[in-house]
A = this chain, B = another copy of it.
Amino acid sequence: MKRKEYRELVSVGEARRIINSLQVRPEKESSALENARGKILAEDIVTKINVPPFPRATMDGYAVRAEDTYACSETEPVKLRLLGNIPAGSDAKFTISTGEAVEIATGAPIPEGADAVVMVEYTSEENGAVFISRPVNGGENIMKAGSDILKGERVLRRGRKLGTREIGVLASIGKKEVPVLRLPVGIISTGDELTNPGETLGLGKVYDANSYTLYAGVQECGAFPLLYGIVRDNESVMGKALETAVSECALILTSGSTSSGAGDVMYRLIDEAGETLAHGINIKPGKPVIIGIIKDVPIIGLPGNPTSALMIFNEFVAPLLRKSLGAEAGIRKTEDGIMGTDLRSEGRQQLLPVGMVRGRVYPADRGSGAITSLSGADGFIEILPETEFIEAGTPVEVTLFGEVEKPDILIAGGFCPGLDVLEDLTGLRFRTLYTGSSGGFSAISAGTADIVGVNMPSRHPEGQYRTLPKEIRYNIPTVEAMGLSGAVLVKGYRREVGLLVGQDSPISGLEDLPGKRLINRNRGSGTRALLEIKIEELAGKRGISKKEFTNSIPGYVSGAKSEVAVCEAVLSGKADAGVGLRNCAERNSLKFVKFAEEEYDFLVRKEVLDTPEIRKFLQTLSSTEFASKLPAGLQVYERTGEII
């Protein structure tokens, strides 16, 4: 396989210049007002009417000449001759002179000659006359014609994205059909590894996420996405897809197949049918980006990795779409935050995916200290090449991935179904990353999580003892050993831990494990640590070494990353037993052989203890509702909610 090396990368500034020079031409179309929400106005809207179109009564009452009421009072009401009644929607066919009044409904037009409305509360009617007991000023309870929108005014500018209020303005001036912009953007996903969501995933394949994120991203910019589906890494197939898209779209986005091997295909195709303007941007992850043009239709080739594609889309493509749809829509959604952790940069210009929790910004990259997963990234920050290090507390600007709802609490640590219950009951949004208990202790020590859930057992609180202490203690010894001072420990609840075995399995306890294939949890998991202690105990009783015992269990060294993976191994027959919670066994119809009860606690960063979100979390933890909703095998006890 001969590889073509990347041509010279263009700078970020040069890439922006090239993209800015692209002509993306939206079409005009007419939209029914009720379907116009989120669309972009194609023309200035100048109103041909006043709103309100005539002076209106803003209260039920009597239209009068204000000067007729100046002298009246409760004790000396003025008597006016009643000419009639103007309900809402009728035309005001009366003319009022001194000493006269007309009954009027809210919203009805003020009759000729009247200049105020007396509220019905301050009047009484009798024999064709009305008695007014409180004076009004000229103009009182009247909304003047054009006082909201003045005839001839430009009420909305072309390029305005239509929201609730704009739709209301358009309805008020009688617009039923609205001129809006239609900017068709073709979306093509390329790559032999891609499978459509909904289809079965073969070995080595991944689902095509880019088609759908770009679809939603294009919509959010007010443009009109067109999906062309997955195209294989094959020159003629790709060529045909491009040709169709060029004939139907104002802009084409491809993703994938842009790396040095397969990327040549796209590059060659664009160069044959049109012109390549850039092949790689000098920003991470912009290396594989291609910018080209075929028959006046710009084509932008994005990276295949979904997060990278979304970052490049937001940084380079979304501004182009917004600009093409008019200046007003040209707002990039950014939010100011402060770095939540120290960050060492790679010393090159890059877009770094980040999560954002209550204004604090965390890297969502796979690097160290990342406790937010990529799928949980809220947006990204741009890091300049000269930046080597960003200290925690530094203000940064986050470009959001569209209209994201950001989480309220960042949680790490060991897996627990109880967290889902807490999330449901608090109504808060958790961003949870199951790092195992060990990862949890690190995350809280690094200050990257607000709360971590831990279930780490320990027999050796202070140094190594020859004889094992009777009691297993949970979490506190680890906190002490790590010298964690920035967090408090809040007692959580008890969880039943056991072996997960098939319904017909003869295994009825840890003593039956030798000779059976075990699927253990990964290192760093509290469950694995607990099993180890229990095995040591059992081995001690039998007078053999722990090593001897574990060596007799095939698969003891295995390390499944999740309870689900444990269950699957047992269900598929790859293992005879696994370790996990009762709840997991029940959900997967496995038999549960309990061997211990453990304590699942929470470490809460002191800094955040006083925030409303964390207070709500802790209140809920101690609530009876939470106690009643915990799934099987989990239960609160007298220490639940205790702060240590």
Contacts and interface: CB of A to CB of B under 8 A. Distances in A.
A202 B91 contact: yes
A506 to B, nearest CB: 27
A26 interface: no
A149 B373 contact: yes
Contact of A405 (B58, B161, B176, B202): B161
Interface in A51-94: 51-54, 56, 58, 60, 85, 87-92
B196 A176 contact: yes
Nearest to A139: B366
A394 to B, nearest CB: 22
Interface of A: 1, 3, 33-34, 37, 44, 49, 51-54, 56, 58, 60, 85, 87-92, 103, 105-109, 120, 143, 145-155, 157, 160-161, 163-165, 167-177, 191-199, 201-209, 211-213, 215-217, 219-220, 225, 227, 233, 259-262, 304-306, 310, 327-328, 330-331, 366, 373-375, 377-378, 401-405, 420, 423-424, 427, 429, 432, 434, 561-565, 568
B405 A151 contact: no
B157 A423 contact: yes
Contacts of A564: 150-152
A189 to B, nearest CB: 10
Tell me if A's interface is mostly helix, strand, loop or mixed: loop
A493 B373 CA distance: 57
A613 to B, nearest CB: 13
Oligomer copy total:
2
Of A143, A197, A304, most B-chain CB atoms within 10 Å: A197
Contacts of A165: 213, 310, 375, 377-378, 401-402, 404
A175 B157 contact: no
Contacts of A207: 171-174
A82 B60 CA distance: 90
Contacts of A171: 197, 207-209, 211-213
Contacts of A219: 37
A216 B88 contact: no
Given A34-B215, A330-B427, A561-B150, A53 B192 contact: no
Given A146-B561, A171-B197, A217 B88 contact: no
A174 B212 CA distance: 11
Contact of A89 (B161, B194, B199, B427): B194
Nearest to A103: B1
Nearest to A147: B366
A214 to B, nearest CB: 9
B174 A198 contact: yes
Contacts of A152: 562-565
Contact of A175 (B60, B198, B217, B330): B198
B204 A91 contact: yes
